[in-house]
Every structure is written in structure tokens, then in C-alpha cells.
Structure 1
Amino acid sequence: MPAARQRVVQEFSEFFRGFAGRLATWLEYLDVPRAGAKKITQETMTKPYRRWAEIESPEAWTRVVASRAWAARLATVDAIPVEDVEEHAPHHAGGCEMAAPEARLDVCEAIRKLPARQRQVLAWSFEGYTPTEMAEHLRKTPDAVRASLYKGRQKLEDLLRPQDSDQ
């Protein structure tokens, strides 16, 4: 195997091992069901390998590809109303790590109550992206991203605030 090809295989393998689980968790924050998140992750992770030499920011590029795959899936699937079988928290440690599983479950439940755009920018922010970086990858203005991020954080704070039982 040529040295350049060997380098690509090694770099991509390290990327895959370190990022695939985080991508699946990130998709779950976007309200993708666990099975769908795993499938989209598997499908998506083959794409950066093919274009490895062209991609400047593999994590962001892969997140964009995965979120577009989820949007495409939503656009082509007829919703069948069914009852949720299981409430769950993402099982992979990602950028939004919480010390207690109960706290992670609370955050995940609260995030599911937010509008899609707010969930999206919060998921990106949990991974350390700035509003300017998010705007670039999501093809939005930085002001629009900041507004969604602000509203999402405010709503999330309200949802996670302990309720007084005296009232």
C-alpha cells in the first residue's frame, strides 16, 4: 500500500474510532431515535473517508452530512403515530457530558421539548462550536444562530429549573 494511502487509512481510522460514537449521540440530541442515529452514523461515516484529503474540518463536515441525511429521511417518511416505547438518554459520552445519568436524562428530555432549530444549535454548541462556526456550517447568519442559541438556552434553563412543590 502506498505511503499516502496508508496515512489516509490511519488518520481516518483514528477519526472514526474517536468520533462515530459522539456523532450518534449528537444525532440523538437532534431528536433522532437511537436506531436511526446509529444507521445514519454508519452511512455518514463512509463519506468522509472518500473525501478525506479535501475536508478541512472533518467533525463539522460529517455533522452537516449527517444532519442533512436525517432531514432527507424526515422528508421522505410518512409518520405513523405510535406511542414511545422507551425514553432514553444517549449512551455515548459526548461533548455534553453530565456527571449523573439522571441529569443527562433530564437534559435530553428538556432538549426534546425545544424547537428543531434551537435543538440543532444547542447540539453544535455542546460540541464546542462558536455561533460563527455554526453559521458557516449551517448556512445561517451568525445573528440568527446567536438568537436561536440564546432562546434555546433560556428555554432549556426554564425547563431544567426545579419547580416549587408548594405552589
Structure 2
Amino acid sequence: MVLSVGVSTAGSRDPEPRRRRTIAEYDRRTEREYEKFDRAERAALLAYLLYQGFAQHIAEESVNDAMLEVYANWLDVKSPRAWIRTVARRVAVRKAKADRRSLLDRFKYHRPPDVLAEDVVLSRILDLDSDLVDAIRRLPVQCRSVFILHVDDFSVREIAEVEGIPERTAYERLRVARKMLRAWVEESLKNEEGK
């Protein structure tokens, strides 16, 4: 007897019924690779959602839901780092819309807990000067999203895939974000020298 599990091809409009995979086929690639992926990406994904402006509880729930989704589709996902960020952001948007409180108010008063700073990816982001973090938060949403992915070591091609935009657009948004941040940092330095 061969046991099988159903695996959907997420987002597919293909009229074919769900593919059936044997448990043996599923086990060949899944457990160790998925666990390694989970350990490597969970904290970075949480940081990505937090700096997108989502409340911590929404970000954490969205990360968990996205990890379950990537696990269910592990054999079909070609680029898991990009795919999971797209899924997590969509889940977070859905959860935020259901939540009655204003995203802006929650983001304004949100501070990630110190415990998270121990993670390598988060510490790289959270150790930034608070003025720089404030400047990043002032970036237009599209530029901020691209810049956060850039800080998380995504290539322009990967950023374009996550954002669902052409590579040239991703490059341009990154250029605009850098230019705006450079201007704000220079202005801040001039203000400090003038004091």
C-alpha cells in the first residue's frame, strides 16, 4: 500500500486536479531541508514584516502561517526565500485589514523586544542608529520595502521577484531609497555639527 499526500500548486489556475505525491517522495526532500530553511529564514522574515510596519502579533502569526504554507508546497517552490516573503506579506495584509486598530498607530509605538536582537539578521537591522531607523521608516512604502530586502542581502533580481516588479523598477526604487537616506543622513550630520 502506498500512502500519498495532496499538494496543491498555490496560486495555480490549472484545471488539473491536485497532484498526489507519495510520502516517500515527500520525505526525500522535506524534513532536513525545510528545518534548515526555517531556522535560517524565520527571524529574517519576522524582521521583514516588522519593518514593513506590521504589528508584532500580526507579523508573528503571518510568519507561522507562511512557514506552514511553504512546508505544504515545499516540493513545488523554486525560490523559497522570495516565495515566503510574498506569502507572508499577503497574509500580514489580510490579518492587518481584519484587525480594527490603525497600522500607523501600532507601528509608531512598536519596538521589537530585546530578545530578538540576539539573532544575527535582526541584530544587523536593529543595531542601526535610531535616527537611521527613523529615516528608513520615513521612506515611501515601495522604496522602504525594497531597501529592507536589500539590507537582508537580497539581490535586485530576488527583490524584483518578491515585489512582483521588473528588475529595473526594483533597481530604481533602491536607488531612490539610497538617495533619500543619504540626504537625510547628510542633513542630520550638518545639524549635529551646527550644535
Larger Rg: 2
For 2:174, the equivalent position in structure 1 comes to 149
SS in 1 for 2:120: coil
SS in 2 for 1:54: coil
Whole-angstrom CA distance in 1 between matches of 2:80 and 2:105: 36
Q: 1:96 to 1:114 in 2, by over 3 A?
A: farther
Of residues 75-84 and 112-121 in structure 1, the stretch that sits farther from structure 2 once superposed is 75-84
1:51 to 73, 77, 80: 73
Whole-angstrom CA distance in 2 between matches of 1:82 and 1:28: 13
Of residues 73-82 and 124-133 in structure 1, the stretch that sits farther from structure 2 once superposed is 73-82
What's the offset of the Cα at 1:82? 4.8
Report whether the alignment pairs 1:164 with 2:191: yes
What's the offset of the Cα at 1:157? 2.1
Q: Which is richer in strand?
A: 2
Of residues 57-66 and 103-112 in structure 1, the stretch that sits farther from structure 2 once superposed is 103-112
For 1:94, the equivalent position in structure 2 comes to 121
Moved over 6 A (4+): none
For 1:63, the equivalent position in structure 2 comes to 85
Assess if the C-alpha contact under 8 Å between 1:24 and 1:38 holds in 2: yes
Structure with more contact order per residue of length (Cα contacts < 8 Å, sep ≥ 6): 1
Q: Which runs of 5+ in 1 are unaligned?
A: none
For 1:129, the equivalent position in structure 2 comes to 154
Q: Which runs of 5+ in 2 are unaligned?
A: 1-22
TM-score (normalised: structure 2): 0.70
CA RMSD of aligned residues (A): 2.9
The percent identity for this pair of structures is 20
